[in-house]
A and B are shown apart, each in its own frame.
Chain A
Amino acid sequence: MNVSTDALGTTASGGRVSRLAMFQPVMLVWVALAAILVFLIVAPMEELVVSSFQHADTGDFTLENYAAAYSKPRYIQALWNTLKMGAAVVALAIVFAVPLAWAVARTDMPGRGFMRLAMLGSFISPPYLSAIGWILLAGPNAGWINKAWQWVTGDPGRIVNVFTFEGLVFVMASNVFFLIYIFTHSAFEMVNSEMEDSANILGAGPLRTAFKVTFPLILPAILGSAIITFLISIALYGVPALISIPARYPVVVIQLSEFFGNTPIQLEVAAAYSIPLLLITAVLLGLQRLVLRRRTHTTVTGKGGERRIVKLGAWRWVMFAYAMIVALLTLVAPTFVLFVAAFSKVWTRGLEWSNLTFRNFYYIVFEHSTSQQAIVTSLTVGAAAASVAIILALGIAYIVQRRLLPFAGALSFLAMAPFVVPGIVLAIGFFAAYAPPPFALYGGVSILILAFITRFLPVAYTASAAGIRAIHPEMEEAVRSLGGGRLTAVRHVVAPLLKRTLFAGWLLIFIPAAQELSTAIFLIGPKTRLVSVLVLDMSEEGRYEHLAALGCVLLVILALLVWAGFKIAGRDFMLRRDAS
């Protein structure tokens, strides 16, 4: 019965096992993955830091870039403004998100299903489209709200202006609060009702229980997501580009684009100017780790316990009104206006039959070759980045989870590292590393795809690692004991079992990647078109009807894909906690 050893090509003979027989292809894979990660992450980041200390022409070591970057009070002011804006955005986002999360997770408020849908809408809708929506609604002169006010009261003045600090903060918060919502919502779902019951039985009323027991338990989740929200908002490009310039409120991302907009490009100065952003991010994420680590000691034990719904009585309608107002302001109103504008001949005329037209869509989809190209490019770049990121992350997560090789931990560290790099800073690093020869990638789509892969690698990695952790290692050992190698096991067992997880992860990357602006803005060449960048260009030209139609096409495509995702990957794939 000793047939099989030889049938499988065993080359062992005599005293020891031959080197060839011991060789496993997985080692080559490791080397390849490490090389890819160095290319995607280490090189751009290293290039960013190095070039911030380099003289633009000679390449010699210098501190001049830093001197230039912080030479004018305006530049320093922009840094300070950014922090102020970030803090205000987080505060407002918490006001939006936390009551909603509580109401949806723990009360009998009506319309909870609708709120879940609205949060999904917030995820799909890119910030720059909602900013445009608010410009149409609350622009100082032609904005609908001011127009309506003037029409109703006859007063020629105006009551709202989006081009202010308050407007900027409000629009930002509308676009980032759903992250706090997701984290807080799942924290509320973790809190066991028995913890609250024990407070009740000791004599605490509902209000006291809420403040003494429930909220302290979810505080780490709020703080942790608030930190991430702060980081996202200080690095977001679209909303400031549309609002903070007219509002004369300079912020870091705008200043960076100015350094980039000059000819010749002041890359080295931009690099020096982006270092504080990088440092703030690293420090705050470290802090967030600390906050979340403490939580594991306190509340996670609550999982699995029974959760009782709080009966709000008449207050449920108050809560409902609040939820509807938040949904209206953050999502429904700006999106509605966008759609109306897309179907209008002239957007300022508003809802009139005579104003209705399909011309804008016809123009965007069939006539205007630039926007056709932009739609195709955005979707392909998003799809390519999502696919490569998932495959790469799967490989790394597999090696790390199965402890295949020494130093696998280094791979996982690298895969998660882009998380601490704001998209716009990543773009500068990519530009520094790959725009000049020998790579000379600037101008094509390849540099966009590479940068997007890097940007979304942490999301892909978290999803893949969670998926692999759920597969019993014996499933693969069974393959190997029957004569299949590691790669056979991955192809025939691991990959098929992970299909759903991977698809959900793919969508979680594809949707933001197809609308990504912050990373794209510095990397896009004069001839490449992305929907996000084109929207910005059109808004500068005041072509709001065309822009709105383009935005609506993008939204509809993404919404259809998410719907398909629900069908295939299950209802909760968007709400995973690690989705950030």
Chain B
Amino acid sequence: MAGLSLKNLGRRFGTFEAVKDLNLDIAQGEFVSLLGPSGCGKTTTLRMIAGFIDPTAGTIDLDGKILSAPSGSLPPEKRGMSMIFQSYAIWPNMTVFENVAFGLRLRKVPSADIKRQVHDMLNVVRMGELADRYPSELSGGQQQRVALARAVVIKPAVLLLDEPLSNLDANLREEMRFEIRRMHDEFKITTVYVTHDQSEAMVTSNRIAVMNQGRIEQVDEPYKLYSRPKTRFVASFIGRTNFLNGTKAADTASFEGFQVPLSALAEKAPDGGAVTISLRPQAIRLHRANPAVSGKIALGGRIAERAFLGETWDYQFAARDGGLTLKVAAPPDTVFEVGAEAWVELDPGEMVPIA
């Protein structure tokens, strides 16, 4: 198939398994993020794709050709990929122009073409005016744009990004996310993006692969990943959530204080007698009186804690019967005092059973 394919990929460092039995297919032109906490194996995976690390198990292939296998790997310089690094890695001994032109020169592109392509690319990243500057005369954001131009100008088969925004300040980071997305929309380069920042991944990616302890937990579009997490790790790593533990009998699931028909849940519950569901705080609605909507569940209780976060109120709701507490997010105009009586309305269609 066309595109990048990781099959049963594994990497061991001594006795430590950094990446375990990882499978991922990335279609040509697709933008996929590897998202996970530090130490989850995402950077190791990226560096295996780049060719800086050899796998100890499995293969990596591009358009059907094997690039990496435990028996030997193609060195990075022969893969036709390019990579953007956390430290930018802009060469301080070369001007902006020379940095961007470097890959083209290695490819023996005629110098008139180099000049044109580099200037076009610098204009795309809005660095056209600064072509003759040295990197020490640029800000962090400008250096990152140069890195982007340098990587993209060679029209790589695959573009790899290793936490490229983690050294930038918050505002710039937000701006650069869209910049990266815009570049992808313009050039349609197959891209693998490593990050630990979920909003970065959600802004840029077609699909996100959430990694944990060397494995991929789930690969999905950003919206699906948030609304239909498959595992406990994914549900808690992407956004905040409430986990409710219950038991399963015939066709209903029983939780503390309420029951729902299994068929009403968002997804089919996994086999076994116990069931855990994830319910996002945003999916819960607060009321002053029992709303009594059919098909929904209403629980009475009181507000235990609250915090105002600007865009939302963050409430802790304690149910009257039993020890159930729920995180609830409410719009700024929904104001409840701590200790006030309240009702929550739960939608079984928002309850996602997780593995």
B103 at the interface (CB under 8 A from A): yes
A475 at the interface (CB under 8 A from B): yes
Instruction: Please name the residue on chain B nearest to A498 by beta carbon.
Output: B93
Stretch in contact with the other chain, from B74-82, B174-182, B222-230, B298-306: B74-82
A474 to B103 CA separation, bound complex (whole angstroms):
15
Docked-complex contact A474 and B87, CB < 8 angstroms:
yes
Whether the pair A19, B154 counts as a contact (CB closer than 8 A) is no
- CB-defined contacts of B2 to chain A, threshold 8 Å: 2
Could you tell me if B80 and A485 are in contact, using CB atoms closer than 8 angstroms? no
What CA separation (Å) do A485 and B93 show in the bound complex?
Answer: 18
Assess whether B89 is in contact with A5, with CB atoms less than 8 Å apart: no
Q: Which of A77-116 contact B (CB under 8 A)?
A: none
Contact A22 B72, beta carbon cutoff 8 Å: yes
Q: B298: shortest Cβ distance to chain A, in Å?
A: 54
> Cβ of A2 and Cβ of B93 under 8 Å apart?
no
21 contacts between A and B (CB under 8 A): A1-B190, A2-B2, A3-B155, A4-B80, A4-B155, A5-B62, A5-B79, A7-B80, A8-B79, A10-B74, A10-B78, A10-B80, A16-B69, A17-B73, A22-B73, A22-B74, A478-B83, A478-B147, A481-B50, A481-B83, A483-B103
- A493 beta carbon closer than 8 Å to chain B: yes
B76: which A residues are within 8 A, CB to CB? 477, 480-481
Nearest-neighbor residue (CB-CB) of B73 within chain A: A17
Q: Does B157 contact A (CB under 8 A)?
A: yes
Q: Is the CB of B29 within 8 A of A482?
A: no
Beta-carbon nearest neighbor of A488 in chain B = B106
Point out the residue from A8, A13, A474, A493 that lies within 8 Å of B80, measured CB to CB: A8
List residues of chain B with CB within 8 A of the CB of A294: none
Question: B residues 74-125 with Cβ under 8 Å of A?
Answer: 74-83, 85-87, 89, 91-93, 102-103, 106-107
Q: Which one of B52, B69, B106, B189 lies within 8 Å of A17 (CB-CB)?
A: B69
Contact residue among A3, A475, A480 (Cβ-Cβ distance under 8 Å from B75): A480
Which residues of A from 454 to 495 have beta carbons under 8 Å from B?
Answer: 472, 474-475, 477-485, 488, 492-493
In the assembled complex, which residues on chain A have CB atoms less than 8 Å from the CB atom of B155?
1, 3-4
Q: How far is the CB of A469 from chain B (nearest CB, A)?
A: 15
Chain A residues with Cβ under 8 A from B253's Cβ?
none
The 10 closest A-B pairs by CB, nearest first: A4-B80, A482-B103, A481-B83, A5-B80, A474-B89, A478-B89, A496-B93, A474-B85, A480-B76, A22-B72
A205 close to B (CB within 8 Å): no
Query: Which residues of B, 334-354, contact A by the 8 Å Cβ criterion?
Result: none
Instruction: Out of B66, B89, B106, name the residue touching A16 (CB < 8 Å).
Output: B66
Contact digits for A513-529, partner B, Cβ 8 Å, 1 yes 0 no: 00000000000000000
Whether the Cβ atoms of A479 and B102 lie closer than 8 Å is: yes
Taking the closest CB of chain B, its distance from the CB of A506, in whole angstroms, is 19
The one of A475, A481, A497 that contacts B82, using a Cβ cutoff of 8 Å: A481
When distances are taken between beta carbons in the complex, the residues of chain A under 8 Å from B66 are 12, 14-17
Let me know if A200 is at the binding interface, CB within 8 A: no
Is A21 part of the contact surface with B, judged by Cβ < 8 Å? Answer: yes
Report chain A residues within 8 Å CB of B69. Answer: 16-17
The answer to whether A24 has its CB under 8 Å from any CB of chain B is yes
CB contacts (< 8 Å) of B67 on chain A: these are 12, 17
A9 within 8 A of B: yes
Please report the total number of A residues contacting B with Cβ < 8 Å.
Answer: 37
Q: Taking the nearest CB of chain A, how far is it from the CB of B44, in angstroms?
A: 14
Residues of B within 8 A of A15 (CB): 66
* B85 and A483 contacting across the interface, CB-CB below 8 Å: no
Tell me the complex Cα distance, A13–B67, Å: 9
Answer yes or no: B288 CB below 8 A from chain A CBs.
Answer: no
**For the complex, what is the distance from the CA of A485 to the CA of B86, rounded to whole Å?**
21
Q: B residues 179-208 with Cβ under 8 Å of A?
A: 187-190
CA A9 – CA B108 in complex, angstroms?
13
Across the interface, name the chain A residue whose C-beta is closest to B188. Answer: A1
Given A2-B63, A17-B67, also A482-B89 (CB < 8 A): no
Assess the A4–B154 pair: CB atoms within 8 A: yes
Do A21 and B78 touch (CB < 8 A)? yes
| CA–CA, A446 and B208, complex, Å | 63
B79 pairs with A482, CB closer than 8 A? no
Q: Does residue B15 face the partner (Cβ distance < 8 Å to A)?
A: no
Q: Given A5-B157, A10-B78, A481-B83, answer yes or no on A19-B106 (Cβ-Cβ < 8 Å).
A: no
- The one of A1, A17, A472 in contact with B28, judged by C-beta atoms closer than 8 angstroms, is A1
Judging by beta carbons under 8 Å apart, are A1 and B157 in contact? yes
- Is B93 in contact with A481, judged by CB distance below 8 angstroms? no
B71 at the A interface (CB under 8 A): yes
Against A, the Cβ 8 Å flags (1 = close, 0 = not) of B22-65 are: 00000011000000000000000000001110000000001101
B165 contacts the other chain (CB 8 A): no
B87 contacts which chain A residues (CB < 8 A)?
472, 474
B291 within 8 A of A: no
Which residue of A is nearest B104, CB measured? Answer: A482
Which chain B positions have C-beta within 8 A of A2? 2, 28, 62-63, 80, 157
**In the docked arrangement, what's the CA distance between A481 and B69, Å?**
18
What residues of B have a CB within 8 angstroms of the CB of A5 in the complex?
Answer: 62-63, 65, 78-80, 157
Contacts of A16 in B (CB 8 A): 66, 69, 71-72
Which residue from chain A places its CB closest to the CB of B61 in the assembled complex? A12
Q: How far is the CA of A484 from the CA of B105 in the complex (A)?
A: 10
In the complex, the answer to whether A17 meets B62 with C-beta atoms within 8 Å is no
| A24 and B75 form a contact (CB under 8 A) | yes
Chain A residues lying within 8 Å of B154, measured Cβ to Cβ, are: 4, 482-483
**Interfacial chain B residues near A479, Cβ < 8 Å:** 77, 102
A483 close to B62 (CB less than 8 A): no
Q: Is the CB of B83 within 8 A of A485?
A: no
B-contact 0/1 string along A227-246, CB 8 Å cutoff: 00000000000000000000
The answer to the question of B160 belonging to the interface, with a C-beta cut-off of 8 Å to chain A, is yes
Question: Are B83 and A477 in touch, CB under 8 angstroms?
Answer: yes
Q: Which of A7, A12, A475, A485 contacts B107 (CB 8 A)?
A: A7
Q: Judge whether B156 is part of the interface by a CB distance below 8 angstroms.
A: yes
Query: What A residues does B188 contact at CB under 8 A?
Result: 1
The B-contacting residues of A in range 5-47, CB under 8 angstroms, are 5-10, 12-17, 19, 21-22, 24
A224 to chain B, nearest CB (A): 35
The answer to whether B157 and A492 touch across the interface, beta carbons within 8 angstroms, is no
Contact of B65 among A12, A477, A496 (CB under 8 A): A12
Q: Using Cβ atoms and an 8 Å threshold, which residues of chain A touch B86?
A: 474
Q: How far is the CA of A7 from the CA of B77 in the complex (A)?
A: 12
Cα distance A133–B188 in the bound complex, in angstroms: 77
CB of B215 within 8 Å of the partner chain: no
**Contact residues in A for B77 (Cβ distance below 8 Å):** 8, 479-485, 488
Report how far A19 CA is from B80 CA in the complex, Å: 18
Is residue B150 within 8 Å, beta carbon to beta carbon, of the partner chain?
A: yes
Is the beta-carbon distance between A497 and B93 smaller than 8 angstroms? yes
In the complex the two chains form, what is the Cα distance from A9 to B130 in whole Å? 34
A218 to chain B, nearest CB (A): 36
Quote the shortest CB–CB distance from A463 to chain B (angstroms): 19
Say whether, besides A1-B28, A480-B77, A482-B150, A497 and B92 are in contact (CB < 8 Å): yes
A sample of 17 more A-B contacts (CB under 8 A), given A477-B52, A480-B52, A482-B102, is: A1-B190, A2-B80, A4-B81, A5-B65, A7-B107, A12-B74, A13-B65, A14-B65, A16-B72, A17-B67, A17-B74, A21-B75, A22-B73, A472-B89, A477-B76, A478-B85, A484-B102
Chain B residue with Cβ nearest A13 = B65
Q: How many Å lie between the Cα of A483 and that of B51 in the bound state?
A: 12
Which of chain A's residues have a CB closer than 8 A to the CB of B71?
A: 16-17
Per-residue interface assignment for chain B, residues 122 to 148, with 1 indicating a CB less than 8 Å from any chain A CB and 0 otherwise: 000000000000000000000000010
A477:B75 contact, CB within 8 angstroms: no
Contact of A3 among B62, B72, B93, B157 (CB under 8 A): B157
Give the residues from 250 to 290 in chain B that come closer than 8 angstroms, CB to CB, to chain A.
none
Q: B78 near A9 (CB under 8 angstroms)?
A: yes
Bound state CA distance, A484 and B107, in angstroms? 9
A482–B106 touching, CB < 8 Å = yes
Instruction: Find out whether the CB atom of B89 lies under 8 angstroms from the CB atom of A477.
Output: yes
Which residues of the other chain, A, contact B147 by a CB distance below 8 angstroms? 478
- B35 CB to closest chain A CB (Å) equals 21
A406→B63 CA distance, assembly (Å): 32
